[in-house]
Structure 1
Amino acid sequence: MGIALTGSGSCTPQVSLDNHGLSQIVETSDEWISSRTGIRQRRLADAETSVCAIAVAASKQALEMAQIAPTDIDLIILATSSADDLFGTASQIQVQLGATKAVAFDLTAACSGFVFGLVTAAQFIRTGAYQNVLLIGADILSRWVNWSDRGTCVLFGDGAGAVVMQANDRDRLLGFEIRSDGTQNACLNLAYRPQPKELVPGVTIAQGAYQPITMNGQEVYRFAVKKVPEVIEKAIFRSNISVEEIDWLLLHQANQRILDAVAQRLKIPPEKVISNLANYGNTSAASIPLALDEALRQGKIKPGDTIAAAGFGAGLTWGATIFQWGR
């Protein structure tokens, strides 16, 4: 059974914080941030905005583009690291969409989440288990940022993106490669910090809280510029095509220097690189589908175009997929 990507949608909060505004919070400047990351501003969710709400908004757009009803969806996968409910948010999305026959679950692989979710959804379609899958990447990492740490707070923004994947006679998912390396887990964390609590003498449990994001920026940069081109090359090889046949390079929107370095190593010209991080920052699992949807609605990506998409981030995890847009 083949796979087609037939609809996309996205949603970002209305509130925008540019680099000048951020310089009022921490010691930084627009020049410092933009020269090191390429980010000019980011969208931030207010206290009333939930991951569920922006995910539902993005999903409705994707369903409309794909021209299918919520009741046609068999499976909903939410890629997120900032769920509204630690037990899962996908089922809330299912209810709000009215996707009454869909099974729904969360998938956590940080900034690689959308790519991992796409590969996971593909297996359900290929086996014939499901026909129509809604894949969402959504994160509100502003909840988990230390806003006095200029090494991390300048990077992240909030948003959601969604795609509809459908069973198709012609297979548009050409190949993929996904990887993990837990030995580098400490490079990027949003960790739980336990605090001992004695219930009765001799019985102590741990009750604590999750701590803000911490990151070794130099190590993550070195990891990304080395591993991401390799995994894209493997996915291209599995797809039985050449780099020259790639129409668009769609990377996780983490840092413009990473995007440029990966494209240079793969010998992909800058005009084929999709980048919107200047306006949104790093939206984690949302970044790839958000950039995809924007490029589609701007008319850049056309039906039949071949896209190399790659995610990378905490875990550490990384992966790439090669797919063609449309049926």
Structure 2
Amino acid sequence: MSAEGAARGSAGAAAGGDLGGAETGRPAAVLCGLGSWLPPVEVPNEQLCDRLGVTAAWIEQRIGVRSRRRAASGTATVAMAVEAGARALKSQGHARVDAVLLATVTSDHLGLAGAPEVAAELGLTGAAAFDVSAACAGFLHGLSAAAGYLAAGTFERVLVIGADTMSALLDPDDPGTAPIFGDGAGAAVLRAGDAAEPGALGPFVLGSDGGRRHLIQADGGGALDRYRCTGGAPLPYLRMDGREVFKQALGRMSTAVQESAARAGWPLAEVDRFALHQADARISGALARSLALPEHKWLSNIEQVGNTCGASVPLLLDHANAAGALRPGHRTVLAAFGAGLAWAGTSTVWPRLASGA
């Protein structure tokens, strides 16, 4: 931690946190619980090399991934979301929330939201529950929706989960996608509170560009398939234009990072940690260089888990919190970019959170 960060952490412990220009008394969503879960099946690069015709070193150098997790047969998005959600509820200290939001693009059943099933499995039958679909930016969009409900007084506590079984969308013979993605889930509990508290989420930056949806998409499996009468239905595999996605991710997340910090009243140089969607290690590195910021401020776990889509940001936060890379008082900016295209960003002064493990 920088000297400035340490000083802010001490001040936060004594005075309730440093939220820059936050207005005391303004209603806000406050982070009060955190948890995550990864499937036990680990797939190192070496297991993919022969089929893809590449080396383990090539995968690591190009993407920054050494291994990823895969959901076992019979286990998918809802099961992972339940595990992560249970840990987040344990972290907050009790098992009740008023609503469950599930950010995912890999629903267990076509046409059915997974959030109600997750809520039931967690003993929350009767709670409001619905899915959020914004791909890799879904968790942050879910946080934004939850923050709105909390500010309006609709709910007192909301569980937001990001979970994706990306292996269900991958062509095992495609070197452009198969090595990148992993399966997993992460979750956070938000409660109604004050904008001056540690853990209060700052203003959100949200955006989309559907005109570039073709850059990341799976053609098969959707409602349009029933109208495809010639040539057979397309396979429901994810396809991605890596070069253009890199450019879009770099530009959109740069904007989200800068605007999130500015809306919080923080100069970029005074932000202690950046928690960005783990899309590709090269993107984070290029973003750090383009903003002239030290790379040690950029949290990372892509090496061990790959790109976990909607689970990426909450997994990163939980891992960093458990490892001590995120400490109370750290000024933290969150940002994500993904298919749609969709992007999002926000900020918080990191609170003291119990482990949900």
TM-score range for the pair, normalised by the shorter chain length = over 0.9
Aligned to 1:202: none
The answer as to 2:243 corresponding to 1:215 is no
Kindly indicate whether the alpha-carbon contact (under 8 Å) linking 2:215 and 2:244 is maintained by their aligned counterparts in 1.
yes
Kindly indicate whether the alpha-carbon contact (under 8 Å) linking 2:331 and 2:347 is maintained by their aligned counterparts in 1.
yes
Aligned to 1:34: 60
The answer as to 2:85 corresponding to 1:54 is no
Kindly indicate whether the alpha-carbon contact (under 8 Å) linking 2:141 and 2:344 is maintained by their aligned counterparts in 1.
yes
Q: Which amino acid aligns with 1:194?
A: D
Q: Deviations over 1:41-81 (max 9, x none)?
A: 11001111121111111111111111122xx2111100000
Kindly indicate whether the alpha-carbon contact (under 8 Å) linking 1:175 and 1:323 is maintained by their aligned counterparts in 2.
no
The CA distance in 1 between the partners of 2:38 and 2:164, in whole Å, is 10
Distance verdict in 2 for CA 1:100–1:152, change over 3 Å: same
Aligned to 2:214: 186
Kindly indicate whether the alpha-carbon contact (under 8 Å) linking 1:9 and 1:60 is maintained by their aligned counterparts in 2.
yes
Q: Deviations over 1:259-303 (max 9, x none)?
A: 111122222211111100011110000011001001111122122
The answer as to 2:163 corresponding to 1:135 is no
The CA distance in 1 between the partners of 2:184 and 2:282, in whole Å, is 22
Aligned to 1:116: 141
CA positional deviation for 1:197: 8.6
Q: Which amino acid aligns with 2:48?
A: L
Aligned to 2:90: 64
Distance verdict in 2 for CA 1:209–1:134, change over 3 Å: farther
Kindly indicate whether the alpha-carbon contact (under 8 Å) linking 2:195 and 2:201 is maintained by their aligned counterparts in 1.
no
Q: Which amino acid aligns with 1:36?
A: R
Q: Which moved more, 1:300-309 or 1:51-60?
A: 300-309
The CA distance in 2 between the partners of 1:108 and 1:27, in whole Å, is 33
Q: Which amino acid aligns with 1:75?
A: A
Secondary structure of residue in 2 paired with 1:152: coil
The answer as to 2:128 corresponding to 1:103 is yes
Q: Which amino acid aligns with 1:176?
A: F
Distance verdict in 2 for CA 1:197–1:216, change over 3 Å: closer
The CA distance in 2 between the partners of 1:124 and 1:304, in whole Å, is 26
Segments of 5+ residues of structure 2 without an aligned counterpart are: 1-26, 353-357
Distance verdict in 2 for CA 1:197–1:221, change over 3 Å: closer
Q: How high is the TM-score relative to the length of structure 2?
A: 0.85
Distance verdict in 2 for CA 1:4–1:196, change over 3 Å: closer
Aligned to 2:20: none
The CA distance in 2 between the partners of 1:50 and 1:183, in whole Å, is 31
The answer as to 2:117 corresponding to 1:92 is yes
Distance verdict in 2 for CA 1:209–1:103, change over 3 Å: farther
Q: Which amino acid aligns with 1:6?
A: C
Q: Which moved more, 1:184-193 or 1:219-228?
A: 184-193
Q: Deviations over 1:173-218 (max 9, x none)?
A: 12221110011111000223524599xxxxxxxx957610000000
Q: Which runs of 4+ in 1 moved over 3 A?
A: 195-198, 207-210
Of residues 51, 57, 67, the one that matches 1:25 is 51
Kindly indicate whether the alpha-carbon contact (under 8 Å) linking 1:175 and 1:236 is maintained by their aligned counterparts in 2.
no
**Count of aligned pairs:** 317
Q: Which has the higher strand share?
A: 1
The CA distance in 2 between the partners of 1:210 and 1:83, in whole Å, is 17
Secondary structure of residue in 2 paired with 1:293: helix
Distance verdict in 2 for CA 1:151–1:129, change over 3 Å: same
Q: Which amino acid aligns with 1:247?
A: D
Q: How high is the TM-score relative to the length of structure 1?
A: 0.93
CA positional deviation for 1:97: 0.2
Q: Percent same amino acid at aligned positions?
A: 37
Aligned to 2:186: 161
Segments of 5+ residues of structure 1 without an aligned counterpart are: 199-206
The answer as to 2:105 corresponding to 1:74 is no
> Once superposed, what is the RMSD of the aligned Cα atoms?
1.7
Matches within 5 A, 1:285-324: 285-324=310-349
Q: Which amino acid aligns with 2:295?
A: P
